Amino acid sequence: MIVVLAIDALEYKKVLEYNCENLKQHYFGKTDISEFSQPRTMVLWSSFMTGENKEKEVLGEGNKEMWSKKWNLDETFFKNFKNPVVLDLPGYSYELDVHEKSRKLLKEFFETEDKDKKLQTKQEYNKDAFDHHKKIKEQFFKALEEDHDFVLGYFSVADVIGHLNFGDNLVMKMIYKDLDEIAGQVKEKADKIIVLSDHGMEAVGVFGDHSTYGFWSTNFKDLGNPKITDFFDVLGNL
């Protein structure tokens, strides 16, 4: 079984700082996403699965509309597998409602001046993110028990929680530890594993903004400083 842990906004520096051995695996490094004008989640995952820079195409859909974009199996490297399962990946199997709600709450949080409302929004935002994380985790572990030759799990918790809490080391550490344990459990099930993020994150006060490189690791090959489109071939040829 080949497994990809697709972790939104997993930050290279934090993986090192928190010493997340399972996320690091044997080989790890930064990805080069300098070809993109900005580190945008939908653009990056689209380019990842299709093996082509899809920035223009995705942005052409419109700021709001792009989140509904869905690539066909034939356009992705998933087609190379007999029985793949791809969980919650933006541009493919994304649970639009959940993520739309997150974005809406985030906007509300920054727009409101009312302190109580801010706190309440933040709590709801965090709760939704954690609940969704638990749900995807469950689906992911279930998929690992099933008969698939390829499993991809997309985890958004580090990004979503990070946007409002990246400067809170305690919370971020707990999230990284949880992700690290997920990677640890994958190790027992999969032959070849790739951990990949679209971009990382840097602190802006207590908040977090996307950083201009991603994180990768494998248990089988040193990939150097790959572009996100390189994974199309790396995974397609396994």
Segment 100-129, which members bind another protein (CB under 8 A)?
126-127
Q: Is 137 in the site for another protein (CB under 8 A)?
A: yes
Other residues' Cβ atoms within 10 Å of the Cβ of residue 74: 7
Q: Is 14 in the site for another protein (CB under 8 A)?
A: no
Contact 88, 71 (CB under 8 A): no
Among 34, 72, 83, 169, contact with another protein (rule: CB under 8 A): 169
Hey, is 150 helix, strand or coil? strand
By C-beta, is 130 or 207 nearer to another protein? Answer: 130
Contact 50, 228 (CB under 8 A): no
Hey, is 188 helix, strand or coil? coil
Q: Which long-range contacts (CB under 8 A, 24 or more apart) does 62-68 make?
A: 66/42, 67/42, 67/94, 67/96, 67/99, 67/100, 68/96
Q: Is 173 in the site for another protein (CB under 8 A)?
A: yes
Residues 6+ apart with CB under 8 A from 230: 223
**Window of 55-63, 69-77, 105-113, 167-175 that interacts with another protein by CB under 8 A:** 167-175
Instruction: Give dist(CA 173, CA 15) in Å, integer.
Output: 9
By C-beta, is 70 or 134 nearer to another protein? Answer: 134
Instruction: Give dist(CA 233, CA 167) in Å, integer.
Output: 36
For residue 174, the minimal CB distance to another protein (Å) is 5
By C-beta, is 111 or 131 nearer to another protein? Answer: 131
Residues 6+ apart with CB under 8 A from 37: 55
Segment 175-204, which members bind another protein (CB under 8 A)?
175, 177-178
By C-beta, is 16 or 174 nearer to another protein? Answer: 174
**Window of 34-42, 110-118, 170-178, 212-220 that interacts with another protein by CB under 8 A:** 170-178
For residue 3, the minimal CB distance to another protein (Å) is 21
Q: Is 170 in the site for another protein (CB under 8 A)?
A: yes
* Site residues (vs another protein, CB under 8 A): 126-127, 130-131, 133-134, 137, 169-171, 173-175, 177-178
